[in-house]
């Protein structure tokens, strides 16, 4: 996963006190909340610097990989680096998104955050990206379809679907094996269609479910010194393998948007690739998370604005594409040009995650929309 306000930052998990009998009216009138309980509640909702750091570093990797994509074909080293980064950067995003969705039960306040923090940005940016292509590429026939995610917006559609299914994954006995089975079946089903990019939604599903299954102690485990040291040879070995595999591999597997039959390989290849990529992605994600700083840093505050960086940097990438920048300035494919693109992508996405930008686009990325919801929505309980 990025941090979508009203979307990723979830209320703390229910505590044992919620299962106690509800006090009577008289008890409620006389009961005075104790100060330690208030302090504990305040502490539980406080932002975690570690996850903000992880989200910021992940969005930087996303932006850099998108900048490499148009210029990497002539360089085996660039393709290898792209393969290495693409193997884990979206799985890391999705895993963190799942982890912060653990408390989703479909309460009215959670549904409201789901609508304002995910559904509304999806609708707005789906229209924006489509209109931008119409204007910049002189393509009046570019459709505006909320069922066919444009470029980066697929992630918002996927997150909306995944989060709605969270209660299901929380109650079944073997959620991760079931999710892997669904992802494997998706790779063998070429007729799923493009609606809401369901092929990608299903193939990336295991990472979201894995995040739902994780507990705080699992993140404590990957932050141990031994794991950090093991991450170094892990990435070194992965880099060597990526260099060997880059000219031999169809990178479409990385995007999880096609079935095995559509890629011209036997159906069973989809099962093998699903399990292989899942294992590699989990290992590399663990190695990445092991080196994420635990303390507050200069970029910790940027973790709260990664939805802005994610959605807005795509417009700049598309602007360069529509303007034929990469075809005009062929020197960008040289090592020096690729280094420059890497620096520019990291700098631009950093600026797009800053608080001023977040405040400027808050009306669309985290709108209040009080007018659209019933005033008593928060008081509505589950239907019996």
Helices 225-245 and 76-99 cross at an angle (nearest 10°) of: 140
CB 212, CB 175: distance < 8 Å: yes
- Quote the pLDDT of residue 45: 46
- Quote the pLDDT of residue 3: 42
- Quote the pLDDT of residue 2: 44
Residue recorded with tokens 């009961």: 31
Global pTM value: 0.86
Cβ contacts of 382 within 8 Å, gap of 6 or more: 106, 107
Structure tokens at 104: 């989703």
Structure tokens at 206: 């295991």
User: Distance between CA 132 and CA 67 in Å, rounded?
Assistant: 19
User: Distance between CA 13 and CA 104 in Å, rounded?
Assistant: 9
Smallest CA-to-CA distance from 63 within 351, 365, 288 is with 351
Phi, psi of 46 (to 5 degrees): -70, 145
CB 211, CB 94: distance < 8 Å: yes
User: Sign (positive/negative) of CA torsion 323, 326, 327, 329?
Assistant: positive
DSSP string spanning 251-309? THHHHT-S-TGGGTS-THHHHHHHHHHHHHHHHHHHHHHHTS-SS--TTGGGGGGHHHH
- For the stretch 104-112, contacts whose Cβ atoms lie closer than 8 Å and that sit 24 or more positions apart, written own/partner, are 104/10, 104/163, 104/166, 104/167, 105/166, 105/167, 106/164, 106/167, 106/382, 107/382, 108/377, 108/378, 108/379, 108/380, 109/11, 109/377, 109/378, 110/10, 110/11, 112/6, 112/373, 112/377, 112/378
Helices 175-187 and 198-213 cross at an angle (nearest 10°) of: 160
Structure tokens at 67: 């900048």
Cβ contacts of 235 within 8 Å, gap of 6 or more: 84, 284, 287
Structure tokens at 266: 């036997």
Judged by DSSP in three states, 140 sits in coil
CB-based burial label for 25 (10 Å; 0-12, 13-18, 19+): exposed
Element (H, E) at 365: helix 362-365
Per-residue pLDDT of the chain (384 residues; tens, 9 = 90+): 444 433 334 334 333 333 334 444 444 333 434 444 334 333 444 689 999 999 999 999 999 999 999 999 989 999 999 999 999 999 999 999 999 999 999 999 999 999 999 999 999 999 999 999 999 999 999 999 899 999 999 999 999 999 999 999 999 999 999 999 999 999 999 988 778 999 999 999 999 999 999 999 999 999 999 999 999 999 999 999 999 999 999 999 999 999 999 999 999 999 999 999 999 999 999 999 999 999 999 999 999 999 999 999 999 999 999 999 999 999 999 999 999 999 999 999 999 999 999 999 999 999 999 999 987 765 555 443
- Quote the pLDDT of residue 379: 59
């Amino acid at each position: 996963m990025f941090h979508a306000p009203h979307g990723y930052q979830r209320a703390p998990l229910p505590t044992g006190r919620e299962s106690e009998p509800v006090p009577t009216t008289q008890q409620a009138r006389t009961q005075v909340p104790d100060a330690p309980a208030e302090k504990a509640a305040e502490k539980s909702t406080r932002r975690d610097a570690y996850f903000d750091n992880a989200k910021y570093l992940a969005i930087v990797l996303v932006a850099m990989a998108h900048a490499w994509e148009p210029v990497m074909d002539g360089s085996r080293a660039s393709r290898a680096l792209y393969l290495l980064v693409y193997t884990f950067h979206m799985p890391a995003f999705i895993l963190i998104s799942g982890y912060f969705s653990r408390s989703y039960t479909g309460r009215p306040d959670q549904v409201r955050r789901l609508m304002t923090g995910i559904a509304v940005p999806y609708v707005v940016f789906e229209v924006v990206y489509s209109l931008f292509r119409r204007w910049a590429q002189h393509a009046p026939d570019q459709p505006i379809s909320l069922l066919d995610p444009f470029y980066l917006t697929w992630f918002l559609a996927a997150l909306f679907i995944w989060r709605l299914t969270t209660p299901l994954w929380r109650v079944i006995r073997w959620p991760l094996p079931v999710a892997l089975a669904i992802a494997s079946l998706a790779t063998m089903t070429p007729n799923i269609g493009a609606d809401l990019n369901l092929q990608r939604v299903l193939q990336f599903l295991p990472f979201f479910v894995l995040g739902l299954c994780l507990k705080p102690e699992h993140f404590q485990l990957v932050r141990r010194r031994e794991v950090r040291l093991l991450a170094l040879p892990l990435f070194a070995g992965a880099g060597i393998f990526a260099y060997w595999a880059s000219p031999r591999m169809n990178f479409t597997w990385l995007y999880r948007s096609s079935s095995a039959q559509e890629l011209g390989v036997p159906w069973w290849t989809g099962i093998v690739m699903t399990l292989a990529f899942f294992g590699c992605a989990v290992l590399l994600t663990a190695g990445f998370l092991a080196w994420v700083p635990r303390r507050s840093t200069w970029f910790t505050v940027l973790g709260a604005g990664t939805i802005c960086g994610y959605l807005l940097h795509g417009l700049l990438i598309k602007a360069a594409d529509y303007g034929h920048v990469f075809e005009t300035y062929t020197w960008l494919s040289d090592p020096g040009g690729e280094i420059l693109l890497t620096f520019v992508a990291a700098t631009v996405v950093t600026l797009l995650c800053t608080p001023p930008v977040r405040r400027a686009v808050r009306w669309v990325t985290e709108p209040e929309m009080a007018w659209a919801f019933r005033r008593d929505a928060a008081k509505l309980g589950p239907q019996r």
